[in-house]
């Protein structure tokens, strides 16, 4: 074993570096990535409990845990302020869980879009899905302004979801020739359809006249007044979606070699591509329809975690879910509990996320050239 | 007719991209353990023929047999453990390390949800040593030069440990030193391990120096399929490539050398 240090020195790395293969693709069993996933799970749970206690009524983390525990057992507490369980269970927790699920969903969808389109700068909205959802929501709002009576709490998310899925179908049929879906054609088709939809949204805003603010406010995203209904519909799509994408995680890694090479390695890239695009789009559509358009979560989280954990999707995808959930829940708690008046969450994430992304992007560019 | 003694046998193969016919009624047999060169002008259908051999494209009519069984009857997995491709262009946007990418060549040998075994890592190490890239193994592929990247892709294909290696202009981006050393390594594998190589090659002298046989594509069809010494004649070069050349037959190696007439 005396040879090791010599080998390490001649290969120009520090000994620990060249022996332990820092981010080796298939070494998922090594402690580091699993430890990070575990750590992220702990942080997410802690964030959920801490955020539940924050707000106009201060509730300590211990009280939150006690309320949740007693609720689980179906008992009443004698020592806790009787309004607290209501605030926790009916007001704060639905909103917090919705924001966590949406954040996790957007980050996973972003990571999947980046892997499939072979473009690290893709995000869940690259294929124009957000524009489709926005168009659907605007349409629902203008219909209710014109007095067509569908309750808005139902019609807005449903219309947004239909708009997102219709956009996906439109982009697919515009992009597909033969049996292959080229990444560039997909992105371009997304841009074209998004441009048309934006014009449509502009027209609806014009029609809305003085009530345009309802549309604008929806477009900026919000978690105000989310219910357990929102939590369960989001969870029903996002959680199975995460499991489904994890099943294809190794194929996604291989597809980074390019479609043709991936095919010769036994991956049916065209099929994987289509199913995962539909899956990630479904996740995005449900997130947008529940919360409006929330930018940068789907771009920054995968990017940041890829820098720390490496590009292996089998670790990256679960890490993205946990990281995205923590981030968006944190951002929503800031607007809800800390700021004097609530800023729309989509505006906040873009205002913080944009410059932060510029920073990591620049740092990475400099690191590559040096 | 489709006896398993041939590695590939191709019967009445035709292929079109939409309405443009690219290959018309092709019939050839390929033997195992040989280095085949596939030559022909730009757009003569070399890459298409290679894709058909790898079953990443399906023929319009006709059948390809691999070891006596129709190619489309094999599963993707079976084909991936038998045929490896080295493409001409390779780029990667994600920061996988060199050893990660070479390890991807083991994908068809590793069942879903299991981790690679020690023999997988061994194959990777050998492939990297063969391609002289062991010192790069922890470097991200996006930081490599074109020549280094091409050697990584070649190592990935070697790590796949297939009996057939298909090269699509695999050395056309490399400098002469690396071109020759890679061709030598592959030639050696053909001699030592009975590897079969089918390589689309633009550089005719390279084809003449390293191949056993050459397939010549012209006008959607196989114009010739013969040992290199019979392929490279002034007549054929004029007929297929519209160039004038003199051929010098080296007595020692038996491989011809081509001297093009430039003026």
Does any domain span residue A133? yes
Which residues, including other chains, have CB under 8 Å from residue B168's CB and lie 6 or more apart? B46, B47, B50, B85, B86, B87, B88, B199, B200
Number of A–B residue contacts, CB under 8 Å: 99
- What ipTM score was computed for the predicted complex, to two decimals? 0.87
Is B76 in the A-facing interface, judged by CB distances under 8 Å?
yes
Could you give the 3-state DSSP secondary structure of residue A294?
coil
Is B242 in the A-facing interface, judged by CB distances under 8 Å?
no
Q: Which of B87, B94, B120 sits opposite A261 (nearest CB)?
A: B87
- Model confidence pLDDT, tens digit, residues B154-176: 999 999 999 999 999 888 888 88
Does any domain span residue A33? no
Does any domain span residue A207? yes
Rounded Cα distance, B72 and B5, in Å: 19
How far does B192 lie from chain A, in Å, by closest CA? Answer: 24
Low-confidence ranges of chain B (pLDDT < 70): 1-4, 251
Strand (E) or helix (H) holding A231? helix A228-247
In this complex, do A266 and B92 lie within 8 Å of one another by their Cβ atoms? no
Phi-psi region of B62 (alpha: psi -120 to 50; beta: other; left: phi over 0): left
To test the contact with chain B by mutation, choose from A29, A121, A261, A361 the residue with the greatest count of B C-beta atoms within 10 A, namely A261
In this complex, do B91 and A258 lie within 8 Å of one another by their Cβ atoms? yes
**Which chain A residues touch B134 with a CB distance below 8 Å?**
11
Among residues 129-148 of chain B, which lie with CB inside 8 Å of chain A?
134-135, 137-138, 142-143
In this complex, do B103 and A266 lie within 8 Å of one another by their Cβ atoms? no
Could you give the 3-state DSSP secondary structure of residue A84?
helix
The residue segments making up the domain with residue A352 are 92-369
Does any domain span residue A65? no
Based on the structure, what is the number of domains in chain A? Answer: 1
Is B105 in the A-facing interface, judged by CB distances under 8 Å?
yes
| pLDDT value for A370 | 61
Smallest CA–CA distance from A30 into chain B, residue: B115
**Which chain B residues touch A256 with a CB distance below 8 Å?**
92-94, 96
Does any domain span residue A54? no
For A183, B16, B59, B157, the CA distances from A268, given in Å and listed in that order, are 16, 22, 18, 18
Could you give the 3-state DSSP secondary structure of residue A88?
helix
Which residues, including other chains, have CB under 8 Å from residue A291's CB and lie 6 or more apart? A98, A99, A102, A221, A222, A223, A226, A345
Does any domain span residue A270? yes
In this complex, do A27 and B115 lie within 8 Å of one another by their Cβ atoms? yes
Rounded Cα distance, A123 and B44, in Å: 40
| Full 3-state SS string of B46-91 | HHHHHHHHCCCCCCCEEEEEECCEEHHHCCHHHHHCCEEEECCCCC
Smallest CA–CA distance from B77 into chain A, residue: A266
**Which chain A residues touch B80 with a CB distance below 8 Å?**
264-266
By the 8 A CB rule, do A219 and A295 touch?
Answer: no
**Which chain B residues touch A119 with a CB distance below 8 Å?**
93
| pLDDT value for B251 | 67
Is B262 in the A-facing interface, judged by CB distances under 8 Å?
no
- Model confidence pLDDT, tens digit, residues B75-103: 998 999 999 999 888 888 888 999 999 99
Does any domain span residue A316? yes
In this complex, do B99 and A24 lie within 8 Å of one another by their Cβ atoms? yes
Q: Give the domain CATH number at A278.
A: 1.10.3470.10
Does any domain span residue A131? yes
| pLDDT value for B3 | 63
**Which chain A residues touch B152 with a CB distance below 8 Å?**
none
How far does B141 lie from chain A, in Å, by closest CA? Answer: 11
Q: pLDDT 10s digit of each residue in chain A, 370 long?
A: 333 333 333 333 333 333 334 444 444 445 577 888 999 999 999 999 999 999 888 888 888 898 888 888 887 767 778 888 888 888 899 999 999 999 999 999 999 999 998 887 788 888 888 889 889 989 988 888 887 767 777 788 889 889 988 998 899 888 887 666 778 888 889 999 999 999 999 999 999 888 888 888 888 888 988 899 999 999 999 999 999 999 999 999 999 998 889 999 999 988 999 899 889 988 998 998 889 889 889 999 998 898 888 899 999 999 999 999 999 999 999 998 888 888 889 888 988 888 988 887 788 778 766 6
User: Which tokens is B54 given?
Assistant: 């790898």
């Amino acid at each position: 074993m005396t040879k090791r240090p010599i080998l390490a020195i001649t290969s120009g790395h520090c000994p620990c570096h060249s022996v332990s293969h820092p981010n080796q693709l298939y070494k998922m069993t090594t402690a580091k990535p699993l430890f990070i996933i575990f750590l992220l799970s702990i942080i997410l749970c802690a964030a959920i409990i801490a955020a539940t206690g924050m707000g106009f009524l201060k509730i300590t983390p211990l009280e939150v845990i006690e309320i949740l525990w007693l609720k689980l057992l179906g008992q009443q507490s004698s020592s806790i302020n009787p309004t607290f369980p209501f605030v926790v269970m009916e007001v704060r927790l639905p909103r917090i869980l919705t924001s966590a699920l949406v954040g996790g969903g957007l980050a996973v969808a972003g990571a999947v879009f980046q892997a499939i389109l072979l473009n690290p700068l893709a995000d869940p909205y690259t294929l124009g899905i957000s524009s489709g959802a926005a168009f659907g929501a605007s349409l629902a709002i203008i219909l209710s302004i014109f007095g067509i009576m569908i309750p808005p709490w139902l019609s807005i998310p449903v219309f947004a979801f239909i708009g997102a899925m219709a956009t996906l179908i439109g982009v697919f049929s515009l992009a597909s020739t033969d049996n292959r879906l080229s990444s560039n054609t997909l992105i371009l088709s997304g841009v074209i359809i998004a441009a048309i939809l934006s014009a449509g949204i502009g027209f609806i805003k014009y029609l809305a006249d003085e009530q345009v603010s309802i549309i604008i406010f929806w477009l900026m995203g919000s978690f105000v007044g989310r219910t357990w209904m929102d939590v369960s519909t989001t969870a029903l799509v996002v959680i199975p979606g995460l499991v489904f994408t994890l099943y294809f995680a190794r194929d996604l890694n291989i597809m980074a070699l390019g479609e043709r090479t991936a095919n010769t390695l036994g991956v049916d890239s065209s099929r994987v591509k289509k199913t995962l695009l539909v899956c990630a789009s479904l996740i995005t559509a449900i997130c947008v329809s529940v919360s409006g358009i929330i930018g940068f979560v789907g771009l920054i989280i995968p990017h940041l975690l890829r820098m720390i954990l490496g590009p292996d999707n089998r670790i990256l995808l679960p890490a993205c879910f946990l990281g995205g959930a923590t981030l968006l829940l944190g951002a929503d708690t800031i607007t809800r509990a800390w700021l004097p008046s609530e800023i729309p969450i989509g505006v906040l994430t873009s205002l913080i996320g944009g410059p932060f992304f510029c920073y990591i992007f620049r740092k990475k560019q400099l690191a590559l050239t040096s | 007719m489709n006896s398993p003694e041939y590695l590939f046998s191709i019967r009445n193969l035709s292929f079109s991209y939409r309405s443009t016919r690219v290959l018309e009624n092709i019939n050839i047999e390929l033997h195992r353990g040989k280095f085949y060169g596939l030559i022909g002008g730009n757009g003569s259908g070399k890459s298409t023929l290679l894709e058909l051999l790898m079953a990443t494209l399906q023929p319009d009519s006709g059948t390809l047999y691999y070891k006596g069984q129709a190619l489309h009857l094999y599963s993707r997995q079976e084909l991936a453990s038998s045929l490896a491709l080295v493409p001409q262009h390779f780029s990667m946007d994600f920061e996988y390390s060199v050893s990660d990418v070479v390890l991807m060549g083991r994908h068809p040998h590793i069942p879903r949800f299991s981790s690679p075994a020690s023999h997988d890592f061994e194959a990777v190490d050998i492939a990297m040593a063969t391609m002289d890239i062991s010192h790069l193994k922890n470097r991200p592929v996006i930081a490599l030069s074109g020549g280094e990247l091409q050697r990584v892709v070649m190592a990935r294909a070697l790590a796949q440990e297939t009996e057939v290696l298909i090269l699509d202009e695999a050395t056309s981006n490399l400098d002469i030193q690396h071109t020759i050393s890679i061709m030598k390594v592959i030639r050696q594998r053909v001699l030592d391990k009975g590897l079969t190589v089918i390589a689309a090659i633009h550089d005719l002298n390279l084809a003449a120096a390293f191949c056993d046989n050459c397939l010549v594509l012209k006008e959607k069809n196989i114009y010739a399929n013969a040992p290199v010494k019979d392929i490279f004649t002034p007549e054929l070069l004029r007929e297929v490539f519209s160039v004038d050349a003199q051929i010098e037959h080296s007595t020692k190696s038996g491989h011809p050398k081509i001297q093009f007439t430039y003026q």
